[in-house]
């Protein structure tokens, strides 16, 4: 939950660098990722969300379904390539967040699903929505 709070605080403060720092290095350094385009997308999303988010609540953290975990593992291997070591993956959690906006009449509250991974002893955010 603390790692999910780091992500959400980055969004709330309009701090794209803090949000980007939440991704594991094997993802950000991946040959399969157009890093410049990804960073621009994150910067845009962070700016957009920081204008909106008033508050958020971490609802729960749970183990992913076996189907989701299998898909995550495929993505870790795809993006991580040789840099991803399955033995260094210690945990995967799905964290549910409810956030409230400060713009009247626009989304009084919304939910988000954050995928968090514990890799080499540290929790990271996994970009569950990336297309490959």
Per-residue pLDDT reduced to its tens digit, 78-125: 999 999 999 999 999 999 998 887 666 666 677 788 999 999 999 999
| pLDDT level of residue 132 (50, 70, 90 thresholds) | very low
Task: Please tell me the distance from the alpha carbon of residue 54 to that of residue 40, in angstroms, as a whole number.
Answer: 23
* Span 33-72, pLDDT tens digits: 999 999 999 999 999 888 887 788 999 999 999 999 999 9
What is residue 28's three-state secondary structure?
Answer: helix
CA dist 129 and 111 (Å) reads 14
Q: How far is CA 89 from CA 69, 82, 95, 121, 132, in A?
A: 12, 14, 17, 8, 21
Say which DSSP state 124 is in: E
Can you give the C-alpha Rg of the chain in angstroms? 15
Q: Is the pTM of this model over 0.85?
A: yes
pLDDT of the residue at 112: 84
């Amino acid at each position: 939950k603390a790692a999910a709070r780091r992500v959400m605080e980055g969004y709330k403060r309009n701090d794209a660098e803090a949000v980007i720092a939440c991704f594991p290095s094997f993802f950000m350094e991946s040959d399969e990722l157009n890093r410049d385009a990804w960073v621009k997308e994150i910067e845009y999303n962070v700016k957009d969300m920081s204008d909106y988010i008033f508050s958020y609540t971490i609802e729960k953290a749970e183990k992913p379904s076996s189907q989701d975990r299998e898909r995550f593992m495929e993505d870790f291997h795809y993006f991580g390539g040789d840099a991803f070591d399955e033995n260094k993956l210690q945990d995967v959690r799905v964290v549910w967040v409810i956030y409230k906006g400060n713009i009247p009449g626009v989304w009084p509250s919304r939910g988000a699903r954050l995928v968090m991974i514990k890799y080499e002893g540290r929790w990271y955010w996994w970009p569950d929505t990336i297309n490959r």
